[in-house]
Structure 1
Amino acid sequence: MKASVFLLSVLLLLSACSGTIQKKQNIASENGFAVLPKPAADEAVATFAGGCFWAMQESLIQLKGVNSAISGYAGGLTVNPNYDEVSGQQTGHAESVQVYYNPAVISYEQLLKAFFIAHNPTELNRQGPDVGPEYRSVAFYRSPQELRTISRVMSAMEREKHYQGSFVTEMEPFKVFYPAESSHQDYYERNTWDPYIRSVSKPKVMHVREEFPQLIKPEYLK
């Protein structure tokens, strides 16, 4: 009987681990930092900043058509910044997430809407308990068409009163994105026990799932 119970426990554990592995990204690392993937022929790239990148990365990787989401830094001046420098407000960068997605599956406009739901775009230089310009809201555009789409989506969501107050999201031309340390990649998934993840990050991730259930990958709904 004990052997049967032990075997059942092992099988359940393997099943749970299998689900985790299925969700986990394969992010390469070098010298302690993530390595940016080379976009595939059918991939487009988008970059967003919206508060702590732990929640934003998980909010966006769960979307159908999103193949990779890398946490990092953008919008500042320092070359190859690290977390301490960005947190110390020495670089001008914001915590950001770079998304590699298939536009045949998910559009840039859909990504934008998920981005705006994954954080509060009416909070200036903060997100909830996280205060400072490194937590500012930014939509980085790579073309005039993307700039127009950002402006249109923001205006529409303001009219629809998704939030109280006006959006303060900055619209900046994309220049460069620096990947964050490997320890910050998939942090949400690897640290579900973390009180910050449970109380601050999880509500953001779940908000996206509740608003766009049709866009969520099946394995994230289990």
Structure 2
Amino acid sequence: MSNLKSAAMAIISGLAVTLLVGSNVQAESDNHVISQPTGSVANDQERLSRPTSASKQRQHQTSHRTGRSEPMLAQATKTEIAKKSHRLILQVNSNEPAIMNLVLNNASNVAQYYGERGEPVSIEIVTFGPGLHMLRDDTSPVKPRIEVLAMSHPEISFRACGNTQENMRKSENRDIQLIPQATVVASGVVRVMELQEQGWSYVKP
């Protein structure tokens, strides 16, 4: 009888220990499961707050575009403006000294204007018809002024119509001498037209 009681007590003690150990193991397991999501959420938040390499690269590219490209573009624009070339045609087809002087005034003013700004300019004074007298050595009323202007402003050139020169030669039955600053072109009108087609500005007095 005593042995049976002892055996019963041993069984009961064993069951109690088993139940106690099982409860502790389950509690530890539950604590582990509960704490795991908290760590995952924290890790996820950390990953979200930490910039990725792709975002860093995008930020660098944006900074490069806004911080460097715009000044370089502005500098390129300034350089392009500074190097822009201006080209002007002035026509003379009248034998009036007042018209010739007006054209020379315009040429001188334009050359001085862009010269003071450091911008290149080319000016052609094209003569034809009665305007050829402006460049004739024997009849030009503005020959002394052309000599001075040509020395001070080499960007101004003078063109004489070859057709007009030939017609005057036939009409007067003698060679038509031009001043040294004049260059003969085949046709004054064609010269004006071709320069306009190349983008030159055209002014007629």
The structure that is helix-richer by fraction is: 2
Q: State the TM-score, normalizing by the size of structure 2.
A: 0.28
Using CA pairs under 8 Å that are at least 6 residues apart, name the structure with larger relative contact order, 1 or 2. Answer: 1
TM-score (norm 1): 0.27
Q: Specify which structure has the higher proportion of strand.
A: 1
